[in-house]
Amino acid sequence: MMRSTMRFLLGSLPVTVAAAVVLMLAAPAALANTSQLTLVFAAQPTTTQVQTAMTPAVVVDVENSQGKLVTGYNAPVMLTYAVNPVGAPDPANNVVDAVHGVATFPALTFSAVGFGFKLQASANGATSSPSQPFNIVTQLVLCQSRQACQTATVSSAGTSGFAAAGAASTSDVLTATGGGFPSLSCTTVGGIVSFTVADRSKAITMMLAKSLVQQAPNPGAAHFNICWGSPTPFFTKDGTTSKSNPANDEYEGLLPDCSAGGPSPCITSRNKTKAGVVVITVSAAAGDPHISF
C-alpha cells in the first residue's frame, strides 16, 4: 500500500501540503483495517464424498476487530485441519484469494475418508476458530422423499457391506464408508464399515471374506457376530446396555439376534455361502453406526 501511495504522490505532483497530510493520516487508518483480522466461517463444511468437491462450498469472511467485513482484503486465505483423527493430508484446492473480504472454496476436495474432521482458516497471521465437525465418506446417496434408497458395497480389511434405507416423507442423505474409523473394542476379525442416515431405518448386509473366516478358531457361521459402535447406547447380545469406549467417543458391543427378542439394532439373519463368505443382516434405526465382525 505504501508503494501504491508513493506512485500516486510522484505521479501527481505538485501535491499540496494539506493533501499530503490527509494521505499520511489516512494510510495508518486503512492499514488498521487489516492489521487485526478475524476469520469467520460464513458457510460451514459439510459431510462430503471422498474425491468430490464439497458442496455447498465453504465460505470464510475476513473481518476486522469490530466484526465488519474488510472489503479491501483480496489476499490469500488457506484452509487446513484443526482436528484430523486419521492423519489425512490437507484437502486439495485449499488456498484461494478473497474477493472484497470473502473467500469461497468451490473446489475443496478430500483424498481420505474419516469422521469428525474440523477445518480452520488462516490469513495474514490470523487463524479462525475450528469449523463444525464433518465426515468424508466413501459414498453419499441422496434419498428422495417417499422413495427407498441404497448404497453400493463398501469394504475395509476383508469386511464389506451395503445399506438399504426405507422410504420416508422427507428427503435424506445415506452414506457408506469403508475404513476411516479406529478399531472397535469388541472387534475380533475384519475391518470397520459405517453407515449413516438421519431419519430412516435401514437394513445393513455385512460380509466377511473367506480368507478371514478361515483364520477364525471356529469357522462356523454361528461363531461370528457384529460388533456395533454408536453415538447412543443400545442393548447388547448379553442383555446389558452397551459400554462407552472413551477412545472412540461412542458406545460399543455385540448385537443380539432379532429372533431372540432383541431390540433394534439386532441381527435378522446369518449364514455362510458356498464360497465360504459369512453374511449377516442387521436391522437398525436411523443414526450413525460403525460396525465390524
Question: What are 18-38's pLDDT values in tens digits?
Answer: 443 333 333 333 434 455 899
Burial class (CB in 10 A: 0-12, 13-18, 19+), 284: buried
Contacts 24+ apart (CB under 8 A), 88-91: 88/112, 88/114, 88/117, 88/136, 91/54
| pLDDT level of residue 216 (50, 70, 90 thresholds) | confident
Cβ–Cβ < 8 Å for 221, 178: no
Looking at residues 231-235, what average pLDDT do you find?
A: 95
DSSP β-ladder status, 114-123 and 134-137: antiparallel
pLDDT of residue 35: 59
Whether the per-residue pLDDT at 187 is higher than 60: the answer is yes
Q: Which of 7-11, 71-75, 89-93, 155-159 has the lowest mean pLDDT?
A: 7-11
Would you say 139 and 163 are in contact if contact means Cβ atoms under 8 Å apart? no
pLDDT tens-digit readout, 84-94: 999 999 999 99
The pLDDT, as a whole number, for residue 81 is 98
Instruction: Give pLDDT, residue 189.
Output: 82
Select from 291, 167, 156, 159 the least CA-distant residue to 234.
291
Using the structure block, give the residue that is written with the C-alpha cell 505538485. Answer: 14
7 pLDDT higher than 60: no
Say which amino acid occupies 290: H
Q: pLDDT by residue (tens digit) across 245-280?
A: 999 999 999 999 998 776 899 999 999 999 999 999
Judged against a pLDDT cut of 50, whether residue 131 lies above it is answered with: yes
Give the H/E segment covering residue 210: helix 210-215
Output the pTM of the full model: 0.85
* pLDDT classification of 13: cutoffs 50, 70, 90: very low
Residue 248's CB is within 10 A of a number of other CB atoms, namely: 18
Question: Per the structure block, which three cell numbers stand in for 49?
Answer: 464424498
Which residues of 16-74 form beta strands (DSSP E)? Answer: 38-43, 48-49, 58-63
- Cα–Cα dist 100/231, whole Å: 41
Instruction: Tell me: pLDDT of 5 over 80.
Output: no
Q: Do 79 and 119 contact (CB within 8 A), yes or no? A: yes
